[in-house]
Chains A and B, each alone.
Chain A
């Protein structure tokens, strides 16, 4: 089966600009996660969707970050405006049901200058 797809793979922007990331989970997976992984750290959960509803977004900086999962399939994560400390790899993961194994995408490496 095809894995979790993410795009773009790399993005370089200047601070205060906006950026959006896209994720296509494995077909049929109901649960989708977005993680932020700063260099030297483990992934940190930002938001979790079950179908198209938000299960948990307690660690999402809502003043600048937003995410949606229309129709319970693809998802986008947006940052507006970006700050230097947002430089990180953004990982998307999906699982068929809670609390099953999470399958990770290749990630998007964001550099904010």
Chain B
């Protein structure tokens, strides 16, 4: 079955510390992978997608096919990064997103 796993419900880090939000996937074929973010009182929005290889707001994510992981990283956390982060995947040609349960990131001033 297609599955996206985010093992941490809550992650707290101090401002300026590195951040890593974990995501593992179980998909047949070569899925497309995404990170979505929801800031307090805002809509769910795309943060980045692996195919574009962009760095958004200092975040990057590397696809590791061997470990079936797509962890989100940022070298120095900022208070405005506090939000709910969801990893998502879609099967090749499917276009339908399967979301993980999300990780709440709290950056402590």
Contact = CB atoms under 8 A, between A and B. Distances in A.
Interface of A: 3-4, 31, 40-45, 48, 55-56, 91, 98-99, 101-107
15 contacts: A3-B43, A31-B95, A41-B102, A42-B102, A43-B44, A43-B86, A43-B99, A45-B98, A56-B96, A98-B95, A99-B32, A99-B90, A99-B94, A102-B46, A104-B44
B99 A44 contact: yes
Interface of B: 4, 32, 43-46, 49, 86, 88, 90, 94-102
Nearest to B87: A42
Contacts of B32: 99
Most buried by A among B32, B44, B86, B98: B44
B49 A101 contact: yes
B88 A42 contact: yes
B53 to A, nearest CB: 15
A113 B86 CA distance: 29
Contacts of A105: 43
Contacts of A102: 46, 97
Contacts of B86: 42-43
